[in-house]
Chain A
């Protein structure tokens, strides 16, 4: 059986750079073709900027990794041209069940908010995610996008030369030198580049081990998320069961700290445990078994002159709440347009410092949420456990305790409150669309709002006047003119107008709100645009 994770997707081929007399200079080199590196490359290519991706491997990721992808990353992927494919392949679930000891204490329906093109999240194996991303890269290449994917190209050394970065890359045919104006390091949690540059990566290690198994099972389990606290088949610990496409199920079993990993991983020890969990008559096959220890940590700074870190290389979280890849895609969403403007000479390099401010804010929020979930799932003192068990006991009878049960909080994008790029909030409008917020989707005409916002600066008017063309600081801003009547469901009004009859929004290329007002005040919006590109 040949599976996609066994097939080389971008096999090594010799590049002309390897035969050049002097090192060839590229505007952007991305290191790592994981979810984040691939997204970074697509971000550059959609702006017409030449990009080379180097990866020491030549295929999708191996083993049990990300499965849960949230709405915001799907919207970003849609802008890049591969969000819908992922939703089609992925599975969605709405019902979750929480078990404590031998009983189900409650179940819930997520009741996702209506009026969004994308579901609150999907479950999809990371290898499918990467395959769809590589397919999209291939499609972009066929359309002439300047994007190059070099497999079995391992970066060995990185030197900051002030106005560029020098790289040494190892290949099956020996090493070669390469230069980059900008280097985007998406080389994962173990980031060799971070180590080469002697940079820190501090945070908290959770003293616990988790056995993560993907099993193929044809059983008629409902498409739900089941979470157990202290179940009979894993006493004193937790367990999770989650559905993926192709009849694959993700199982997480907490193991505790003092264990023999090699012993625990042996099928003869794993299978009986899973059998007890799934029921005696359920047939299943093991796809992967791994044991992970989780940590929550981040770099102190993500930008180091011309080397910019994104994804797991910059920050790492425990998987409860699925924030790893999800937040990495928001990194490149944030970085892409900024780097594009800097390369085109339309914004000062200092704009990139706002990447640091905004994404560190995001990383801290994610780390906080993952840490809290982990603390709830694996209480670290007797009193924490007592309180946790009290919450679970109460949750069976009283609704009030359920919001306190924390087996992972769904990844939601952060609002860049306090960002230096935020302009004025001239509207006493809905809180969720204040400057810094990611634009919430809404139905518009026959489609949805977010695809209309594209990936450029946009002036969005709702029942308000604004000039059809608007140029400032060398940028031409798109105008999307809407009316509250475009959305009969009322979501557009509720999300963007509140009690106002009209509004004007300046929206960044990453679909975050830069500024808003009730009417188009020219000076205000010109200043807001300059501010949003680091010119004020």
Chain B
């Protein structure tokens, strides 16, 4: 079974983050949201493994602490 990777796995994290911000440059907030949705679906397809995707959905839920409304 493939596990969801939650340890650092991107080489050059600063470069990646800069590319991510650059990809949003010039987009309105709505366009940015739509961009994120497309990006998410592309990445999900790349992963493919439904078990991993299910774990990712869970993981993305967890960080929102109760104190944040």
Contacts and interface: CB of A to CB of B under 8 A. Distances in A.
B8 A102 contact: no
Across chains A and B, which 5 residue pairs bring their CB atoms closest together, nearest first? A383-B32, A393-B63, A403-B13, A398-B6, A383-B24
Contacts of B64: 393
A387 to B, nearest CB: 7
Main secondary structure of the interface of A (DSSP, over half): helix
Given A383-B29, A397-B62, A403 B24 contact: no
Given A396-B63, A397-B62, A409-B14, A381 B24 contact: yes
A375 B63 CA distance: 23
Interface string A388-402: 000101101111101
A101 B5 contact: no
Interface core residue of A101, A391, A397, A398 (most chain B CB under 10 Å): A398
Given A101-B67, A102-B67, A393-B63, A387 B5 contact: no
Given A101-B67, A383-B24, A404 B59 contact: no
Interface residues of B, number: 26
Contacts of A402: 8
A103 B64 CA distance: 12
Q: Which size bracket describes the interface of A in this complex?
A: 20 to 34
A406 interface: yes
Interface of A: 101-103, 369, 372, 375-376, 381-384, 387, 391, 393-394, 396-400, 402-404, 406, 409
A101 B68 contact: yes
A384 B13 contact: no
A399 B6 contact: yes
A393 B64 CA distance: 7
B9 interface: yes
A384 B24 contact: yes
B65 A383 contact: no
Contact of B21 (A369, A382, A387, A399): A387
Contacts of B43: none
A230 to B, nearest CB: 11
11 contacts: A102-B67, A103-B65, A375-B21, A381-B29, A382-B32, A383-B29, A387-B21, A393-B65, A402-B8, A404-B17, A406-B17
